Amino acid sequence: MTDTPDRPTRPDDPSARARAIQSLLVEKELLTTEAVDRIVSTYEDDLGPQTGARVVARAWTDPGFKERLLEGGIEAIAEVVDVPDDLVDVEVVENTPDVHNLVVCTLCSCYPWAVLGLPPTWYKSPEYRSRAVREPRTMLREQFDQEIPAAVDIEVWDSNSELRYMVLPQRPPGTADLTEDALADLVTRDAMIGVERLGESTTVEQ
């Protein structure tokens, strides 16, 4: 099963190889150039972390929604944003003063693309995938400049099924007066992966 006669040769120019395959699939009516453009545009223009940020901001301002979000995942998300809820399920895991959550896919590159768009290259790299699951605290300190307090437990979510994980960060202190839109602007992609920790109440400046 690992030995096949037609193992493709590694192309010198992946662009030319991809173009040739595309061209043949179009002739077989399995693809059109228009479909390629629409698929690319979906990921470049429509999906992205702004979607997840709006969900987080709603959870920060509406306790009833937050409860539904933590229980219901993609169904609750679909209340706030337009997501392909028939394609993917998302489980939202909540950061608290005692717990920090971190998302990884050690086996490939699974990521909550419906709410965050496609993952950055580092998320898909052997460097991140190997370390995140074993030494998350050291990795966050050394690589992402995040010192997670020793009293805070780190829970790692290895996304090895079709269920995808997203972190609900803590609401930063001093944001009581902000609108939901302004709150969404504070939510970063990295905070929803868990390589950034928002809202450490212990660092409130008075």
Partner 1 sequence: MDGIHDLGGMDGFGPIEVEANEPVFHEPWEGWVYALQVAGMGNGVFTVDEFRHAIERLPPTDYLESRYYERWLAGVEQLYYEKGVLDPETVAAREAALESGQAAVSTDADGDVYGEIAAGLREAFDVDRPDQEPAFAAGDRIRVRNRHPEGHTRCPRYARRAEGVVEVVRGTEAVPDARAHGSDDAEPVYNVRFEAAELWGTDAEGGGVHLDLWERYLEPANPTEAQSSP
Instruction: Kindly state the smallest distance separating residue 182's Cβ from partner 1, in Å.
Output: 22
Nearest to 115, CA basis, from 154, 160, 164, 162: 164
Considering the complex, state which of residue 108 and residue 204 has its C-beta at the smaller distance from partner 1: 108
Instruction: Kindly state the smallest distance separating residue 205's Cβ from partner 1, in Å.
Output: 27
- Alpha-helical (H) ranges within 62-100 are 63-72, 74-80
96 binds partner 1 (CB under 8 A): no
6 binds partner 1 (CB under 8 A): yes
**Residue 96 tokens, joined:** 């608290």
133 binds partner 1 (CB under 8 A): yes
Name, in order, each residue with C-beta under 8 angstroms of 173's C-beta and a sequence gap of 6 or more. 199, 201, 203, 204
Q: How many residues bind partner 1 (CB under 8 A)?
A: 78
Beta-carbon neighbour count of residue 132 at 10 Å? 25
The residues assigned a catalytic role are: 105, 108-110
Compute the half-sphere exposure of residue 142: CA atoms within 13 Å on the CB side of its CA.
Answer: 9
Instruction: Kindly state the smallest distance separating residue 92's Cβ from partner 1, in Å.
Output: 13
Single out the segment in contact with partner 1 by CB under 8 A; choices: 50-58, 59-67, 72-80, 152-160. 152-160
Single out the segment in contact with partner 1 by CB under 8 A; choices: 55-63, 68-76, 113-121, 177-185. 113-121
